[in-house]
């Protein structure tokens, strides 16, 4: 039985973490995630990606700690590398990525959500980066992505003090963008993905790169790049189609090019 399921629904790809009972990550499923996102990047018919967990209790509990029980540094090196490759590939996905958090999101389970553009969480969810409790640290972007989203103070509370947050607190501190009823995260995420599909894919890709550029450099360096990307969109057919459709008062027919 596949531990990582991929299906395509129109312009949206749905990835489901399906490794019961806690939807933990393995070297194989992380490799599959990396390769799946790379493949979706090449599929011009896919504009958005939604990731969720199978079942009602867990989004993902992260890595199975049994992997690290014997203190093998080679295993630690391999797992940290594939975690990084998988989640950094997800962050770099050209379209819109949405985490539909339907249960506990712990450690690497929260880090995969942090690697997405948008996070929708059900009201019963609990989120944490508890690695330091077992002598480890979040090695899949957690220390960086969490601090960027919630600020240094709350990142330190969650990582250094091991504090768990529920959905309401996560919304309050900016960790997630929306709280929904139990069982509603996936449908809400898919609806948002449909909204993303109404946008020009090349424009979305350019905008996403510019927004994420803020993490790497200064606004001073990004503003000229913003203008450069704007002019570059005039090389795309979608730019002509978008403006024409607006003037003709109809929906645009994107070709992602």
- Bridge partners of 50? 14, 98
Say which of 7, 28, 54, 111 is annotated catalytic: 111
Say which of 131, 163, 168, 178 is annotated catalytic: 131
The CA R_g of the chain, rounded to the nearest whole Å, is 19
The C-alpha atoms of residue 121 and residue 123 are separated, in whole angstroms, by 6
Question: Is there a catalytic annotation at residue 111?
Answer: yes
The C-alpha atoms of residue 219 and residue 223 are separated, in whole angstroms, by 6
Any idea which residues carry the catalytic annotation?
Answer: 111, 131
């Amino acid at each position: 039985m596949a531990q990582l399921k991929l299906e395509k629904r129109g312009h949206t790809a749905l990835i489901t973490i399906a490794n019961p009972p806690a939807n933990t990550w393995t070297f194989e499923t992380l490799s599959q995630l990396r390769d799946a996102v790379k493949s979706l990047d090449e599929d011009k018919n896919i504009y958005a990606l939604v990731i969720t967990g199978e079942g009602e209790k867990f989004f993902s509990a992260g890595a199975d700690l049994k992997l690290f029980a014997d203190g093998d540094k080679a295993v630690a090196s391999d797992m940290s590398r594939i975690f990084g490759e998988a989640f950094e590939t997800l962050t770099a996905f050209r379209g819109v990525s949405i985490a539909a958090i339907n249960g506990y999101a712990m450690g690497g389970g929260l880090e995969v959500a942090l690697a997405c553009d948008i996070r929708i969480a059900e009201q019963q969810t609990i989120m944490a980066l508890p690695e330091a409790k077992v002598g480890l640290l979040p090695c899949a972007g957690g220390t960086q992505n969490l601090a960027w989203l919630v600020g240094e103070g709350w990142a330190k509370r969650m990582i250094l003090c091991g504090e768990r947050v529920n959905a309401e607190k996560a919304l309050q501190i900016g960790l997630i963008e929306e709280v929904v009823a139990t069982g509603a995260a996936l449908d809400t995420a898919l609806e948002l993905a449909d909204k993303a599909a109404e946008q020009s894919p090349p424009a979305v890709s350019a905008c996403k790169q510019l927004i994420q550029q803020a993490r790497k450099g200064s606004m001073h360096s990004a503003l000229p790049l913003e203008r450069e990307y704007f002019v570059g969109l005039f090389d795309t057919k979608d730019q002509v189609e978008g403006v024409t459709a607006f003037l003709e008062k109809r929906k645009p027919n994107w070709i992602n090019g």
